[in-house]
Structure 1
Amino acid sequence: MDFPPTTASLDTLANGLSLILDPSDDAPVVSAQLWVETGSIHESRLLGSGLSHFLEHMVFKGAGEFGPSELAETVQAAGGHWNAYTTFGRTVYYIDGPSTGLGDFLRVLTAMVFRPHLPESEFEREKDVIRREIDMGLDDPDDRAQQLLFSTAFVRDPRRHPVIGHRHLFDAITYDDLRSYHAGRYSPDRACLCISGAFDETETRSLVESLVAGIERVGGEDPFLAEDPSQLGPRKARDTFAIPSSKISMTWKVPPLGHPDVPALDLAAVMLGKGRAAHLYRSLRQTRELALDISAWSWTGPAREGLFGVSAEADPGKRDELVKAVREELAAFSQSALEDDLARAKRQVAASQFRSLTTASGRATDLASNWHEARDLDFTRRYLGELEKVNAADIRRALARLVESGETLTILDPEDAPAPSTSRRGRKTAPEAETFTLANGTTVALLPNPKVPVIAMQAAVRAGAASETKATAGLNRLLAATLPQATRRHSAEELADKLESLGASVGASAGNNSLLVQLAGLSPDLGTLAPLFGEILAEPALASDAIDRERSSQLSAVREALTDPLSVAFRQLRAHLFGSHGFGVPTLGEEDSVAGLDRLTLAAHHSLHFRGPNLTVALAGDFDPATAKEILAEALDPIPGGDAWHPDPSEVRDPSEQVFHLPKKQAVLALGYPGAAALGPNRHALRFLQEWCSDMAGPLFTRIREELGLAYQVGATQFHGHDTGLFAFYMATDPGQIELAEEELRSQVASFAAEGIPDDAFERVRSTVLSASALDQQSPGAVARHAAIDLLFGLPACHHRELPEIYAALTAEEVRDAARDLLAHRQPVLIRVTPEA
């Protein structure tokens, strides 16, 4: 199965703008992405200030013919989902949505990038927003660990600075600096506009040409980019943070793209540290139990050195032994037989690349990335060809680069830890979906789609938080982590080898109402994968050593969650709204409850819930329905029958206000109300309300974040339960402004209760919800997940396809009534998380 040659076109317009057009009629959606080849490494005398990221924020403040709020309103009205991000070497603006909105999306993108207003009145206000973002990064252990690594690995290379910038350098940015940087760097000949999805190629090219006709390229020299000298000895750095386990990174400099060792290094990273069959994971986590988690990665790009790395988490007492063991394993791995691991890695990479073709956004990102890195739209296909040529000798040659003198070791320790001792395919029509019930009571749905040769199987089991008590909190999460690791017929090593040799992946997750198990792979392997999926569901090994390892990891995650203000707010919100069982317990669990879970508890829970009438399975992707029906019937037959389990009624407690303290720089507010049930008549209307309260054009963002500058993070979230749910508002704010922020948030909620969504905004919200539904139904994995969950609640397997019609018929009055029912008849549970006094 070769990666198909692209049928996209690449043109250079008169002003130097690169235009990539990739029309496809797979789905009525488009992804428009405008990549600018400038990022934090290009900031010259302001290097390290985060100027590129600041500019990314400021272009949203109005552009071209669009006023400050009209950009968001236009995108929302057209059903678009937009955002932007800044990296070391690029800034990317993108909008995904229905194909009918493409014209508006292109007008917005080209105006933002090439004709932003950059209003001086917004300059200091947005600076305050980013200052809070910088503070939040300082509160985040993963951000701290990453910055520690890059500032140690690089000494002169501009990538040693964080993309968001250092606070003191950021504070020094002037308004003239901002305008000059845009004028000098946002040139059309440094930009690429990539469009993938359903559109007319001729009309779109003509529209783009008209939109950028008056934009001229910028002259002048590019900034000087320093390069690191050769590393002549090992580098080490250590810091401490309020975390429960040590975060370890070991890296080595590697050549840029184009060097013959890079494909081998990419495959070596997969062989060593991607998946449960990977060498380091199996040896150092599963067998020797030195790591709570471990992975390997290779980060390379054009022109500049990259990094080959091993990242791990470990108990501080095992930290030094793990570092030593990683070095030993890397040395031993080069001398071992590599052929089987190499074949598995090639399959994994191919499967991952095929999955990128299943969405318009994935295709656009692949094409634009190919332009950015190689100026070759077929670069992915050519690079996969280079990967396929790699042999064991190439792997050994590449790994010989990982020498002691080139190693960089960084460790972020808990505060009390001791220091270390020293071609588009021909169009195919998808057959109709089919649902049937097996003799054991399992309901199965087949949702074929022959577009891309991938498949996804999804099982939904009635369980989740609704099946837990205070004493068993975290049980479903631990079962989900342990379940797919081994079966009674296949050891962990055998199962991982079998799956990953096929480029397949398996996983499980636990939510509020269900436990989900998913397996994805390539279409020709359905006959091999389905029996393994049945084994995982019916005959998991639930080995005690695996449970012990996953329990340790989950306990570490629990402890880390207890240091995060937003996580603490929602844990307490659930507890004070729903009590001590069901939706009131945190899905991650508590330290005491997770510590008390054992094999007997997991096995009993599995026996009670993994029964045919309590379980649904959906298969989506490229397969023959008749053959698949036979394969699944045999594969799922070992699942026992019996009675379906039904959760106890939820307890909804009286409103209350609670305050909690954490030693952080941010304060968090959360207001929670009993929400809609999974089949509740208001659930679709509340989807509109949630979108209105979370969107960048909505009142919470525009009033509280933009106009008043009271919050960096603000929005609404909800979940639907078997008999009730949760609808919550949240914000992260400065502790000194928490009273004003709370007053404003309550005022906005009161407005929602009285007025719902204003008539002039309602159609924009409808467009956004409709496009979100379309974007969420592109990949086989998403389709299978929707179908399995819908079946579990008694809905048709294709209910997700009915949502556009439901949303199109919903009225503003219905949403207003739903908002009034939700918000007007009771006070919320209010949680405040503030810094310690």
Structure 2
Amino acid sequence: MDFPATAATSETLPNGLTLILDPSPVAPVVSAQVWVETGSIHEGPLLGSGLSHFLEHMVFKGGGRFGPSELAETVQAGGGHWNAYTTFDRTVYYIDGPALGLRSFLEVLAAMVFHPHLPESEFEKEKDVIRREIDMGLDDPDDRGHRLLFDTAFIRDARRQPVIGHRELFDQITYDDLRRYHATRYTPNRACLCLSGDFDPAEVRETILSLFGDLPRGMEHEPTLPSEPHLLSPRVGRATFAVPASRLTLAWQTPPAGHPDQPALDLAAAILGRGRSARLYRALREERPLALEISAWCWTPVGSPGLFAVSAEVLPEHRDELLAALRQLIAAFPSTALDHDLEKARRQIASTQIKTLTTVSGRATDLASNWHEARDLDHTRHYLQQLDRVTAADIRRALGNLLTTPEILTFLDPIDAPESTATARMAVEAPSPESFSLPNGTQVSLLADARIPLISLQAVIRAGAPAESSATAGINRLLAAALPHGTLRHDAAELALTLESLGASFGASAGNNSIIAQLSGLSGDLETLLPLFGEILCSPALPSDAIERERASQLATLQETQEDPLSLAFRNLRPLLFGESGYGLASLGTETSLAHLDRLALAAHHSLHFRGPNLTLALAGDFDLSRARELITAAFAGLEGGDPWLPAASKLPESGERLQHLAKKQAVLTLGYRGCAALDEDRHALRFLQEWCSDMAGPLFMRIREDLGLAYQVGATQFHGFDTGLFAFYLATDPSQLELARTELLKEISQLATQGIPEEAFERVRATVLSATALDQQSPASIARHAAIDTLFGLPATHHRELTGIYQALTPDEVRSAASRLLALPPCVSIVMPE
């Protein structure tokens, strides 16, 4: 299926700023993005210091006519959701929100990006914040593995330096360095402003000219980037870390983007390691259970060598055997039959790219990325056309040539492990949703929308934490992971191959109240996908060998979360609030409970919960209503009926406190309160309170992080359960500042309990919540998920469409009253501290 040609326009203003406009009236939302072509590789004499990332932080301290709090307040008042990120070669600032806020969003972006205050009084304070962030990265195995790979693969390339910088080099950055770097690199001729969404192009262009048109062009000189020499011999890198399993990466250097072999190598990576039917996954995880997880990927940047790699997680005792088998399979790959897998890989990549068009943010990112990489707004479409022209012979030649070059091998091993031996823009009005029930009690919602040729099926099964006990903790998660491993009619390989050949994806997860399964694909494949979805849910094979592999993977994840301070703090918080049952249980289970979960246990759990009265199903996207009803009736008619499973009442203990020590650098504090049930009237007010406590303009961020510099990470989170819920506050800080941070956090919570959200900030919070609601109702997957979950709790399938009216009617007094009820009792406290 062809990637739609864009109707967006591009022009270069006299000062060099590129302007990309993608008007689309589908939904009243917009995405405004400024891409500055400067990143960590452009830091010149300060390469490796993280100066680009530091500057990204500092521009949020005010700009133009806005002070630091006024920037956040203006975005919030417009309902915007904003953030930024820095990579090797770009820094991106973006605001997503309602179309009515576009002018204020543009004014904020112009002020902060091109006219930042960069207050010297905030310089050292923000440095301390980033020092904590550097420490958190050093505590993260994924970050350490990434650093190890790039440090091994490159010897001169600037990308071997971490974007955030080395601590000792970061400490040397001066205030003058910061201002000089901004003046030199943040110039309009190095930037792109991309807008996608509901706006009038002529009107918005005038606004942009008034805000950005007078920016002075910068000098065209670029820093000299060191070139990476050809790899002359194999390279091996090894490090140890507190992880339960080894992380292994086998890689080769690739030519840069634009090389004729790039499309063939991308397809080779997809064939080898993309999805459950991929060759490496089938051979080294399913048929020969050596890897816990395995995938292949190809990264080809512009102008510099890239990497073709296979990454795997493996128990140390299987590491060398896996490496030998991996080398053997890859070496034999060019001589195997590829035609069928080639079509599957093309479909997978095309499906992924098409899905980016479902949101304004996705469309803007695609367009700006195309400009950044190729100066061609249709680069994605053109590249997919290149993929269509690749033959099996091209893949054999390209990969065969690559495998003649030296390999790069890295291991991130457990500490005690031995070393290895070795855009349709036309608005389409969707028909009214249709809801019905099958004879067995299954409730079905059909939400048709023909804008984009995608469909999404979402099934929600009433289960979750209250369906587990201390002996079966983790069973929902394990059952969800086992579902894709075949049905009574199709084994796992056939199932994965069928789905991935269509560019479709199936996933299942376990939450607090349910197991959720989803299947997404192209609309033309509904006749195949819907019956398969029914098979997976109604008659899963649950093979014992697959359960064993998923158990090993879940156990490794469990052990890893026990080494993550924030995850561990929340894990310890739950039993303090809810006891040793229901919501007090860890969703991943325990080592003891997982050891006793076998096929019999999973089959019994499936039989109890996967029944008509416990299941709600929603289909959203481009489909025929009548045919969808027929297919669903046939696919799910075999589910048993009977009485629904109902959770037991939660047993709520008194409040408590727990301290645990962990060999990490930062301290984490969590404060938990018993929150709302799913249908509690306070849930809407607490949505406002959570937003206020998590926003960059909110009291926690402004007081604890900005004014006092006590925490790098601070915010609030919540979930709603069958009869109770959780509302929690959290922060990550330096251990020496924990008590002061705790005191200040409790002061802010006390003020929330008595005052709620200040009236002068309330409308900004409302705008942000309304914006988030609109942004969350764009894609078929999110629409179907909302409908299925709401139906499970007895609400209409269209309840998500009513939220805007509910939030618009909410008053400060209602939020204040809900906050006082929530925070009336002392919190449960969970702390994780360094040893």
What are the equivalent positions in structure 2 for 1:314-333 lying under 5 Å apart?
A: 314-333=314-333
Match of 1:461? Answer: 461
Match of 2:638? Answer: 638
Instruction: Note the alpha carbon deviations across 1:47-93, whole angstroms, 9 max, x for none.
Output: 00000000000000000110111000000000000000000000000
Question: Could you tell me how far 1:426 is from its partner in structure 2?
Answer: 3.8
- 1:527 partner SS: helix
Match of 2:589? Answer: 589
The one-letter amino acid of 1:830's match is V
The one-letter amino acid of 1:809's match is A
Q: Distance in 2 between matches of 1:14 and 1:209?
A: 10
Match of 2:157? Answer: 157
The one-letter amino acid of 1:654's match is E
Match of 1:103? Answer: 103
Match of 1:697? Answer: 697
- 1:470 partner SS: coil
Question: Could you tell me how far 1:400 is from its partner in structure 2?
Answer: 1.3
Verify the 8 A CA contact 1:523 1:622 in the aligned structure 2: yes
Q: Distance in 1 between matches of 2:270 and 2:418?
A: 32
The one-letter amino acid of 1:776's match is D
Q: Distance in 1 between matches of 2:381 and 2:503?
A: 17
Match of 1:546? Answer: 546
For structure 1, the residue ranges without an aligned partner over 5 or more in a row are none
The one-letter amino acid of 1:229's match is P
Match of 2:505? Answer: 505
The one-letter amino acid of 1:271's match is I
Verify the 8 A CA contact 1:233 1:404 in the aligned structure 2: no
Verify the 8 A CA contact 2:565 2:667 in the aligned structure 1: yes
- 1:655 partner SS: coil
Question: Could you tell me how far 1:546 is from its partner in structure 2?
Answer: 0.4
Verify the 8 A CA contact 2:252 2:405 in the aligned structure 1: no
Instruction: Note the alpha carbon deviations across 1:488-516, whole angstroms, 9 max, x for none.
Output: 10000100111011000001000000000
What are the equivalent positions in structure 2 for 1:749-768 lying under 5 Å apart?
A: 749-768=749-768
Question: Could you tell me how far 1:734 is from its partner in structure 2?
Answer: 0.4
Match of 1:472? Answer: 472
Verify the 8 A CA contact 2:370 2:378 in the aligned structure 1: yes
Match of 1:834? Answer: 833
Verify the 8 A CA contact 2:320 2:422 in the aligned structure 1: no
Q: Distance in 2 between matches of 1:157 and 1:784?
A: 45
Match of 1:287? Answer: 287
415-424 or 158-167, larger mean C-alpha shift: 415-424
Question: Could you tell me how far 1:428 is from its partner in structure 2?
Answer: 2.2
The one-letter amino acid of 1:168's match is E
Question: Could you tell me how far 1:536 is from its partner in structure 2?
Answer: 0.5
Do structure 1's residue 496 and structure 2's residue 518 form an aligned pair? no
The one-letter amino acid of 1:32's match is A
Q: Distance in 1 between matches of 2:61 and 2:316?
A: 46
Question: Could you tell me how far 1:540 is from its partner in structure 2?
Answer: 0.2
Match of 2:777? Answer: 777
Match of 1:441? Answer: 441
- 1:247 partner SS: strand
Match of 1:666? Answer: 666
Q: Distance in 1 between matches of 2:332 and 2:640?
A: 45
Question: Could you tell me how far 1:405 is from its partner in structure 2?
Answer: 4.3
Match of 2:70? Answer: 70
Question: Could you tell me how far 1:665 is from its partner in structure 2?
Answer: 0.6
Instruction: Note the alpha carbon deviations across 1:725-769, whole angstroms, 9 max, x for none.
Output: 000000001000111011001101000001000000000000000
The one-letter amino acid of 2:321's match is E
Verify the 8 A CA contact 1:662 1:834 in the aligned structure 2: yes
Match of 1:535? Answer: 535
Q: Distance in 2 between matches of 1:228 and 1:447?
A: 52
- 1:542 partner SS: coil
Verify the 8 A CA contact 1:534 1:638 in the aligned structure 2: no
What are the equivalent positions in structure 2 for 1:38-77 lying under 5 Å apart?
A: 38-77=38-77
What are the equivalent positions in structure 2 for 1:676-755 lying under 5 Å apart?
A: 676-755=676-755
Q: Give the TM-score normalised by structure 1.
A: 0.99
Q: Distance in 2 between matches of 1:425 and 1:739?
A: 54
Q: Distance in 1 between matches of 2:657 and 2:96?
A: 39
The one-letter amino acid of 1:679's match is L
Q: Distance in 1 between matches of 2:585 and 2:508?
A: 20
Match of 1:797? Answer: 797
Show structure 1 runs of 4+ deviating over 4 A: none
Do structure 1's residue 603 and structure 2's residue 570 form an aligned pair? no
Match of 1:145? Answer: 145
Verify the 8 A CA contact 1:441 1:641 in the aligned structure 2: yes
Q: Distance in 1 between matches of 2:73 and 2:20?
A: 27
Q: Distance in 1 between matches of 2:702 and 2:467?
A: 39
Question: Could you tell me how far 1:666 is from its partner in structure 2?
Answer: 0.4
The one-letter amino acid of 2:386's match is E
Match of 1:400? Answer: 400
Q: Distance in 2 between matches of 1:426 and 1:44?
A: 46
37-46 or 423-432, larger mean C-alpha shift: 423-432
Q: Distance in 2 between matches of 1:565 and 1:154?
A: 32
The one-letter amino acid of 2:74's match is T
The one-letter amino acid of 1:202's match is A
- 1:376 partner SS: coil
- 1:410 partner SS: strand
Match of 1:5? Answer: 5
Match of 2:251? Answer: 251
Question: Could you tell me how far 1:425 is from its partner in structure 2?
Answer: 5.0
588-597 or 384-393, larger mean C-alpha shift: 588-597
Instruction: Note the alpha carbon deviations across 1:90-116, whole angstroms, 9 max, x for none.
Output: 000000000110001000011111100
Verify the 8 A CA contact 1:30 1:195 in the aligned structure 2: yes
Q: Distance in 1 between matches of 2:805 and 2:632?
A: 32
Instruction: Note the alpha carbon deviations across 1:405-447, whole angstroms, 9 max, x for none.
Output: 4211010000000011246354322111010001111100000
Q: Distance in 2 between matches of 1:476 and 1:823?
A: 31
793-802 or 463-472, larger mean C-alpha shift: 463-472
Q: Distance in 2 between matches of 1:597 and 1:705?
A: 44
Question: Could you tell me how far 1:301 is from its partner in structure 2?
Answer: 2.1
Instruction: Note the alpha carbon deviations across 1:449-474, whole angstroms, 9 max, x for none.
Output: 11100000000000011211111111
Instruction: Note the alpha carbon deviations across 1:615-659, whole angstroms, 9 max, x for none.
Output: 000000011111111111111112221210000001111111211
The one-letter amino acid of 2:829's match is L
Instruction: Note the alpha carbon deviations across 1:660-682, whole angstroms, 9 max, x for none.
Output: 11011100100001000000010
- 2:451 partner SS: coil
Q: Distance in 2 between matches of 1:714 and 1:428?
A: 41
The one-letter amino acid of 1:636's match is F
Q: Distance in 2 between matches of 1:405 and 1:362?
A: 36
Verify the 8 A CA contact 1:534 1:639 in the aligned structure 2: no
Do structure 1's residue 37 and structure 2's residue 37 form an aligned pair? yes
Verify the 8 A CA contact 1:704 1:741 in the aligned structure 2: yes
The one-letter amino acid of 2:486's match is A
Q: Percentage identity across aligned positions? A: 66
Match of 1:481? Answer: 481
Q: Distance in 1 between matches of 2:72 and 2:115?
A: 16
Q: Distance in 1 between matches of 2:238 and 2:405?
A: 18
Verify the 8 A CA contact 2:25 2:425 in the aligned structure 1: no
Question: Could you tell me how far 1:607 is from its partner in structure 2?
Answer: 0.1
Q: In angstroms, what is the RMSD of aligned CA positions?
A: 0.8
- 1:311 partner SS: strand
Question: Could you tell me how far 1:782 is from its partner in structure 2?
Answer: 0.5
What are the equivalent positions in structure 2 for 1:23-422 lying under 5 Å apart?
A: 23-403=23-403, 405-422=405-422
Give the paired residue count.
835
Instruction: Note the alpha carbon deviations across 1:217-271, whole angstroms, 9 max, x for none.
Output: 1115200001111001100010000010000111111112211110111111111
Question: Could you tell me how far 1:291 is from its partner in structure 2?
Answer: 0.2
Verify the 8 A CA contact 1:555 1:595 in the aligned structure 2: no
242-251 or 417-426, larger mean C-alpha shift: 417-426
Q: Distance in 2 between matches of 1:564 and 1:283?
A: 31
- 1:69 partner SS: helix
Question: Could you tell me how far 1:448 is from its partner in structure 2?
Answer: 0.6
Q: Distance in 1 between matches of 2:301 and 2:83?
A: 23
Verify the 8 A CA contact 1:234 1:404 in the aligned structure 2: no
176-185 or 216-225, larger mean C-alpha shift: 216-225
- 2:313 partner SS: strand
Instruction: Note the alpha carbon deviations across 1:500-543, whole angstroms, 9 max, x for none.
Output: 11000001000000000000000010010000000001000000
